[in-house]
Structure 1
Amino acid sequence: MDTTLTDPLVGQLLDGRYRVESRIARGGMASVYLALDVRLDRTVALKVMHRSLAEDPQFVKRFIGEAKSVASLSHPNVVQVFDQGTDGSTVYLSMEYVPGKTLRDVLRSRGPLPAREALELMIPVLAALGAAHQAGLVHRDVKPENVLLADDGRVKVVDFGLARAVEASNQTKTGMMIGTIGYMSPEQVTSGVADARSDVYAAGVMLFELITGRQPYEGETPMSIAYRHVHDSVPAPSSIVSSVPPQIDALVAAATDRDPARRPADATAMLVAAVEAHRTLPRGHTGQHSTPLGAGSGTAGTSSTPGISSTPGTAYATGAHTSDVAGHTMIQPKPELTTVPPARSTSRRWRPNWFIVGLAVVMVAGIAFTGWWFSQARYTQVPDLLGQNITAARQQAENAGFKVKIGEPRFDEEVQKDRVLEISPAPGAEVEKGAELTLVASAGPETVPVPNVEKLSAGDAKVKIAEAGLEVGRVSKVPSDTIARDLVVRTNPSVGERVRKGATINLVVSAGLLMPDVSQMMKDQAVQFLQEKGFTVQVDETGDSTPPGTVIAQDPAAGAEVTAGAPVRLTVSKGPDTGWHWPWETDDSLATPDFVNVPDVRLKAVQEAKRELEAAGFKVKTRKLMGGQRVVGENPLGQQPMGSTITIWY
């Protein structure tokens, strides 16, 4: 169905800034729209709260607070929040638009994923959650629907803080459970309490689902699923897919422990465990292998404890006994001492050369030591950690036995912020075990703040912008009643906003104060508008064929350059000298139309006012005064014939 025809927001300009182009999705708490930020000329995603939430002042207050917290969270795997606002009854978030699909879409199209691939999707999710936990934020609704896979391969987590805002609203007083039941931790079900370990639990359930293609618990009702979260332990993924390696089973078991105290403390701790599990999987391992016959049967020479194994053929010696691989005990008899009488020699006794003997011993010992030294595998290769998160890369290097030094971050146009940009020694180099590696993280593209050039001349502004390493783009003019002619009113992007070095900055320059056109407005509306702009207004009345009270002339003329506080003379109609009449009152051939009340749409948004007047049966003509988005004047008012034209000024 075409949302343009069915959704009243499509085509509207929210808050004078966001032009809504289409609806992308609709959920239980909000709808998401594709929109254009006309101020910054960029595409954004607008999350608009459903009216039931937007009408709750407690929700709106908490929602604004949570939006500010999330906006301060800068991480490459978190969908960035640009802005938050309200327009009438519409409460919205402006967010980074990520073209792609959700992790739920991937599961639907592909089914269960191989172990290595599942971990490679979970690691950036855990990195995002870990950054949030370090900043004191808890997601509360971790699930595949809230993980976005961009078309360029990036993984992004969305909807931080929304569940908390709803939790604080009046919506929860009806017994509504906040979150998604399939991923809820036991403590969320029983007490409604959620912290970083609750997100860890949900991440563990999500990893289970990625590996097995299903959630751990299924039931006919949400409450039956909630009951199992509280009373059952999440099964091992290998109980569903036999080829799942034990590292994955251990990671899921730790993350989904029913006791929060036994889970990883936060997502960063789980991230470290996930990176280690990924490292221990054989390269190229997909997790799609069959279960060996006899595994877990207690066969001699194997260990039933994951991560502990005995090698066939190894013997364990204790005292005078030695155990073989079959578990049998071999008793070794103590060797008896025998005395061998020295042989009698009839020849001359041979005497050893002790110098030669000593030299031989030293040579043999040297050869043995050299063989031992080189048999110890003292050298290893530097791992390739380029492009990984700096924290995870450091942990992986330390786990491999290296000492790690973090170098000064460097700007880079291609490598994302907090990703490993350089390793010294280089990846693949042969170094001694325990050597020191220097990891240098990317600081992202070099950015500079847009300098403050407001109220400078265009020439001076260009010099200051160039000194900051930026370039000047378009220069446009707008009327201004506060900034003198030819001085900078504002920049785009705004002053103080950080942009890439070499970026283009557009200037908006004052065209001076231009006299607004208030002709055809009602006298009271025109006088109020001009006085609010600082003009001194004088009114003259004269007979005219236009309806009484209509402005028919002004001095200075519309569009003339004026100074703030200048005097303005308005000429207002007092109607014809013989009295004003409707045309059908003097012409019997004209039918008397139906009169209806004209809705008073002053102070409403232009598009909303236009829709309301057209719905009442009138034609609408719009006229711009100062470029705002609210109606400041309307003529005529009262009762008017249906189908007549109503003029609104904004």
Structure 2
Amino acid sequence: MDTTLTDPLVGRLLDGRYRVESRIARGGMATVYLALDVRLDRTVAVKVMHRSLAEDPAFVRRFIGEAKSVASLSHPNVVQVFDQGTDGDNVYLSMEHVPGRTLRDVLRDRGRLPAREALEVMIPVLAALGAAHQAGMIHRDVKPENVLLTDDGRVKVVDFGLARAAEASNQTRTGMMIGTIGYMSPEQVTAGAADARSDVYSAGIMLFELLTGRQPYEGETPMSVAYRHVHDTVPMPSALLPDCPPLLDTLVAQATARDPANRPADATAMLVAAVEAHRTLPRESGPFPSVPVSPLPTGPAPAPGVPGVAGGVPNHTLIQPRADLLTGPAADRGAPAGTGRRGFRPNWFLVALVVVMIAAVGVTGWLFSQGSTVPVPELLNKNVTLAADEARRLGFVVEIGEAQHDEKVAKDLVMRVDPAPKTEVEPGSTLVLVASAGPKRVNVPNVVGMDENAAKEKLAAAGLTPDDVKKQASETVPRGQVIRTSPGVGTPVKENSKVDLIVSKGLVMPDVQGMPKDQAEQLLREAGFDPQSVEQNDAAQPCTVIAQDPRPGAEVDKGAVARLTLSACSVEWHWPWENNGENVNEDGNAVYIPNVVFKDVRAARDELRAAGFKVEIRKGLNRGRVLAQTPPGGQQAPAGTKVTLWH
């Protein structure tokens, strides 16, 4: 039965936007459909999560967050995410549709890949992972099923973030490990932890499989495979294929080290090593020589009596020597007795005929090549080194132009070819490849300590745009000078980016009115001022600040004089609730006022309120601790008396 016909989503308009045309694939967490975005009139792939995950709120929350992160990741080797949404019970992603097949399909058809081809698949995969790692994203499920090969030869990685979203689901909380056991790093197995080096490990396992046609570990159960990832060392590819280049043995060994500290730091570091290995391989290197694939020491033994199979890998996928093209059966067996001369005449005739045909084909090809043209290959968005190698293999002369900055094309990828791709040119023509130098970045210059105008001029000269100016009190930076910038000094930012200046407004005069003289003078000295006081007769509490100059909140320089006007200090005075020096409230009970000086202002407020007092909080130096208190602690007062705190 055609399952597409019975799928309830096929033919439906999902979320009022995506008309589902057919089902492409079904996996462990989602089903993928081919759909038409009716709003933008384009074909997309829609990945719909399975119902068990869509009904889990934790998964949906994480899924939405991961979708937003992946949508911001723009790289030619990453399948682009366009949209994310829900439609009833359906939670979905709308993605770029990539016609082609998975790397798993290729391995199924071919068994394994030649050394150069394996690296030419891994290099764009590592470029995609490297871009994700630099953006702070981890794939967590690197495997051939998540690598797509397009019909025009491009390589794209899919399903970034899906494994992380699944980690939030109830399924994982009941013990299911997220990832694919055959490619899972030791730390993912033992602790469920993953970072960039975990992706590197999985990429190393995948490279091993591309080279050998099999995974390094086999077992009867997934847990037995997981156990070997934790306790065994991944064998070298040459253990199965003796002629495997030593550099690839080294690359696999480094990527699959059990200790993450011994692996390349991220996919970009592994990419550099892979490009170098590719560069050193002979250009003409095709598939490995047709040597039997040996079983790993811990793997199953070859099946006895079954030709062409070793360690479970069919040899029919390998390129076989063709030495029999010019030798017939008689040559293999020897000529029958009495027919020696006649036995050789047909073979010499065939040899001569082949030579004449080869010469004729060569001459004809040369004649036709005179005056013919060839198209410039499509080299855009490829690594410039690999693109140059490809062009030279096709017979072009290659010049590498000066790299140019570009906000959209990643560093070291070809952004322009001259002549343009698909242009018809003469064979052997010169192609100029211009690579991207990546986005242009300008470091924020150091303008700390400059006045506002000079700082703005220096920012503009560096190609940046001075934006908002914010004032902030400072005890160390004089008024009018820059304290810092936002983004900070030395931060690389895009050209013409806006930069805020935080400028000192000097010291701010604290409010000490109503504060006892000793506490007020101590606070002002601590703030960097020079307090000077005069007294005048006043009915207020003795030796209390009744006026100050400069006014509270004024912006002044450090060391400025703070003039305080005090009520007379020699006058005898009693608190309003005192009667002949006795502290008594209305019902004859007195309450001790707690001493909260130097305590956290919030804790002090709560303590006073718990004791039954009202609290007023005023800013002094605004340091979060009580600097002064009135009435002072230790004396008795009626419940409900107001206590003023400065902080």
What TM-score, normalized by structure 2, do the two folds share? 0.49
What TM-score, normalized by structure 1, do the two folds share? 0.48
